[in-house]
Structure 1
Amino acid sequence: MSAAAPRPFAVAASGPLIGCVAVPGDKSISHRAVMLASLAVGESRVEGLLEGEDVLATAAALRAMGATIERGADGAWRIHGVGVGGLLQPEAALAMGNSGTSTRLLMGLVASHPITATFTGDASLSRRPMARVIEPLARMGADIIASPAGRLPLMVRGLLPAIPIRYTLPVASAQVKSAVLLAGLNTPGITTVVEPVATRDHSERMLRGFGAELTVEETGEGRVIGVRGEAELVPQHIIVPGDPSSAAFWTVAALVVPGSDLLLPNVLLNPTRDGIYRALRLMGGDIAIVNERETGGERVGDLRVRHSALTGIEVPPELAPSMIDEYPALFVAAAFAQGRTVARGAHELRVKESDRIAAMAAALGTAGVAVEEHEDGLTIDGTGGEPLPGGGRVATRLDHRIAMSMAIAGLHSRRPIAIDDAVPIATSYPTFLATMARLGASPTWLNA
């Protein structure tokens, strides 16, 4: 993310949200589509790619390592790959902006190529831990020199041939899993990842789609995923479905703003990513799936969401891996529910773009919500559907999801909710505020 000057804004209560909102392409799938297309031999076509700053950082890094990546006038992206093993030495440091996914997955790619790459990031990304990725990649033979506490900037010197390993994830992390599997693509033999708790499986689905030899076995240890190295990937035509994380903001908005009725077409409904919708239904949310279908090996559907009387619940902790990015939106829904919502078991929120537990506790408190912070989540006493008191200025902490979640909260508040910076939103949803304005809830720009 560029170091742009902060752009504070405020969101005030709106009327009902009515209409159709097509959300941007899924961020996780967009990252992986660019990466694997860059390793295929020949040209891939990607439609619906999320053109947020995070994905553009991935594309820029792969261009720097030899792939040809171009956006056509029709909005489709054409990617001519270099083949597995064909990544070239970048001439300069790879600027990752705010993207942890770009950083961790590209570290995996570099780890098994005979090149050296330096990764840099913005202030937020430079605070995030990379040790969990460094450890398995070092076991595969990569030489990694990081800043203190395993943070950016860091340098990865790849090894060819790398060493195939069997690695059990100490924490549930799709990014660590993916980094190891991507490193395994150019590693002789079979590289294996064991995940005791299942995480999002986009890497496995897309690796198979591009022709990698990959196995998945359910065992007493958990899911055991193996990829055979020295792979030859085949170009693909990919249509990226709508991002369920982006759709979650409008889902919560429609549920809490009286009279709302929104249709969200073509949303990814992968079972490792739909935890937010399961949790909201447990709270009484009226969320209907229309026209459910399969596209490119992924389950998608159109969501129709209508205003609902929500009830506080104890959020099942087993949902955490399938909704880890959506907790800020869930916390906002809980603020409008009847009674108390307890959301625990989400330790991972402490090391996202910000400490999202602390950030959301502070943000909701600023808006007048009764909230108690725990090491692994929050307890929130809701308003029973009444507007939040509002007022105050929320600190986003350079986190796009904090900014968007609290913007949604402002749509049903007695006083406008001010948010200190809109700039981080561009990392994942550049048209978010324009979409809000189209629905009749125009944000107001404030003085910095």
Structure 2
Amino acid sequence: MTTTFTVEAGGSLLGSLRVPGDKSISHRSIMLGALAEGRTTITGFLDGEDCLATLAAFQDMGVPIERPESNTVIVDGVGLTGLKPPSGPLDMGNSGTAMRLMCGVLAGQDFDSTLVGDASLNRRPMRRVTEPLARMGARIDTEDDGTPPLRIHGGQRLRGQEHALAVASAQVKSALLLAGLWSEGETCVTEPAPTRDHTERMLRGFGCPVRRDRGTACVTGGGPLRAGSVDIPADISSAAFFMVGASIAQGSDMLLRHVGVNPTRTGVIDILRLMGASIEVLDRHEIGGEPVADLRVRWAPLKGIAIPRELVPLAIDEFPALFVAAACAEGKTVLTGAEELRVKESDRIQVMADGLAVLGVDCEVLPDGLRIQGRPTLAGGEVRSHGDHRIAMAFAMAALRADAAVTIRDCDNVATSFPDFARLARHAGLGITAA
């Protein structure tokens, strides 16, 4: 049996809440804390299945990690040369971030290792990271079609390289920069468009100089990492569902507290504002090198837009929620330049189009995006998330504008990024039950 969400039609979102910690930063805090010298204390850690898979992998490689209370982790780092051979394959569960970043970490070790994942992760393309790592000297075997399991041969001599990425990908960039910690000379990665820069910020926080020149980031191998404290802000990708819900449901007024507003992640705010959303950014400040703020979101009539291509990489994980906003907007919304959505936990373009069609929304599937004709009221119905956490949560918010209940099947994987979603959504006013 799998979890099913049933969401009552209509309603509004009200009040104040803090969504769980940022998944991207949680992954990286465990990795860098494990590779640092000394004790790192992490607060605000996301206790979701994806990040717990990363934590368990480093425990299996001999890193002492304690969890004294919920959302707090203490990591006693072993340094860049202190990891031990794991007892067996390292299971990354559903996390593409963990698998791709771990490729960079493990490529520099002196022992062999294997990365595996669940059925969804084992279908995702990995050559985009294994091929540039191979040019640095890594040896990583994939299945014939470039998918996991990944078998990483230890004891390789890595050399710094200049990489020009064909596709903007924070995961690939991060894997290459992490491999650069064990490489001779300088490793530089140039992106065709900006992507999230948590790795660069956190490397600096752990004492590794990162040289940045416009769209290029560089690290030099050989230097140690220094332990410290990490305060993880609330995840803007999780906050996005409540931002969209409050924007589409008349009478809504939500305050989302302590949200990470890193400028490489705020495309969802920019896109919603272009559509006419009422979003105030309050009490902006920095925590550990990451900008955070409170977001006040109130209902406002939305209008369809052509989403600017330069904003696509800055909102790539938020498009399932944004598609729901487009379905409730007046007029037509067009997204192009988002081929990356085809190779997420699901084909998010096709899966969202199929589900929106069930709710009565006219969608045209494009090779690299969607054309969505908004409507005043959505229909109810039953949709499938295809095991994709962001699809499930997006359709839960769609019920706020439906004329009948919305049922979402196969929602187990919501626990990968937002284990308390149903309870927090009920607290805000969504009529959701999980069974």
Query: In the alignment, which of 397, 410, 425 is matched to residue 421 of structure 1?
Result: 410
Q: Hey, what's the Cα distance between the residues in 2 that align with 1:224 and 1:394? A: 42
Spell out the pairing of 1:44-443 with structure 2 (5 A cutoff). Answer: 44-73=40-69, 75-218=71-214, 223-383=215-375, 386-391=376-381, 393-443=382-432
In the TM superposition, what whole-angstrom CA distance separates every residue of 1:221-270 from its partner, at most 9, and x where no partner exists?
xx221101012001111100110000000000001111000000111111
Deviations 1:365-408 (A, max 9, x none): 1111111110111111111xx321122x2111111000000011
Gaps of 5+ in 1: none
**Secondary structure of the structure 2 residue equivalent to 1:292:** strand
What is the CA-CA distance between 1:329 and the residue it aligns to?
Answer: 0.6
Deviates further, 227-236 or 139-148? 139-148
- Residue 128 of structure 2 aligns with an amino acid whose one-letter code is R
Letter in 2 for 1:433: A
Percentage of pairs with the same residue:
50
AA aligned to 2:209 is: E
Residues 119-145 of structure 1 deviation map (CA, whole Å, 9 limit, x = unaligned): 111111011000101101111222111
Matching residue's letter, 1:376? D
How far apart in 1 are the matches of 2:326 and 2:262?
Answer: 24
The 3-state SS of whatever aligns with 1:43 is: strand
Report the AA paired with residue 319 of structure 1.
L
**Whole-angstrom CA distance in 1 between matches of 2:156 and 2:141:** 18
CA contact (8 A) 1:141 1:159 kept: no
CA shift digits 1:397-422 (9 cap, x unpaired): 11100000001101221011111122
Contact kept, 8 Å, 1:216 with 1:224, in 2: the verdict is yes
Give the aligned residue type for 1:427.
Answer: T
3-state SS of 2:334 partner: strand
Q: Which ranges in structure 2 are unaligned for 5 or more consecutive residues?
A: none
Matched to 1:400, the amino acid is H
Counterparts of 2:227 and 2:112 in 1: how far apart (Å)? 26
Structure 1 length normalisation: TM-score?
0.95
Q: Which moved more, 1:37-46 or 1:189-198?
A: 189-198
For residues 29-53 of structure 1, the C-alpha deviation after alignment (integer angstroms, 9 at most, x for no partner) is 1111110000001100000011110
Q: For the residues of structure 2 that align with 1:376 and 1:161, how far apart are their CA atoms? A: 38
Deviations 1:16-37 (A, max 9, x none): 2110120111111111111000
Of the three residues 14, 17, 39, the one matched with 1:21 is 17
Return closer, same or farther for 1:129/1:75 CA change in 2, 3 Å cut-off. closer
Does the Cα contact within 8 Å between 2:161 and 2:188 map onto a contact in 1? yes
Q: Counterpart of 1:45 in 2: which secondary structure? A: strand
Contact 1:85–1:186 (8 Å) recurs in 2:
no
SS of corresponding position for 2:355: helix
Mapped contact 1:9–1:444 kept (Cα < 8 A): yes
Alignment partners' CA distance in 1, 2:103 and 2:285: 34
> How far apart, CA to CA, are the structure 1 residues paired with 2:429 and 2:403?
17
- The CA distance in 2 between the partners of 1:445 and 1:405, in whole Å, is 15
* Amino acid of the structure 2 residue aligned with 1:426: A
Residue 438 of structure 1 aligns with an amino acid whose one-letter code is: H
Query: What is the CA–CA distance in structure 1 between the aligned matches of 2:283 and 2:155, rounded to whole Å?
Result: 47
Residue 168 of structure 1, CA deviation:
1.0
SS at the partner of 1:44?
A: strand
What TM-score do you get using the length of structure 2 for normalisation? Answer: 0.98
* Contact 1:165–1:192 (Cα < 8 Å) also in 2: yes
The answer as to whether partners of 2:12 and 2:400 remain within 8 angstroms in 1 is: no
Secondary structure at 2:196 match in 1: coil
Moved more, 14-23 or 348-357: 14-23
Could you give the per-residue CA deviations for residues 427-446 of structure 1, whole angstroms, max 9, x where no partner exists? 00001111112223232346
Aligned mates of 2:25, 2:3 — CA distance in 1: 29
Superposed displacement of residue 75, structure 1: 4.1
Count residues in correspondence: 435
CA distance in 2, matches of 1:302, 1:64: 37
The range that moved more, 19-28 or 191-200, is 191-200
The residue type paired with residue 401 of structure 1 is: R
* Aligned partners of 2:168 and 2:195 also within 8 Å: yes
How many angstroms apart in 1 are the aligned matches of 2:69 and 2:307? 45
Aligned-residue CA RMSD in angstroms? 1.2
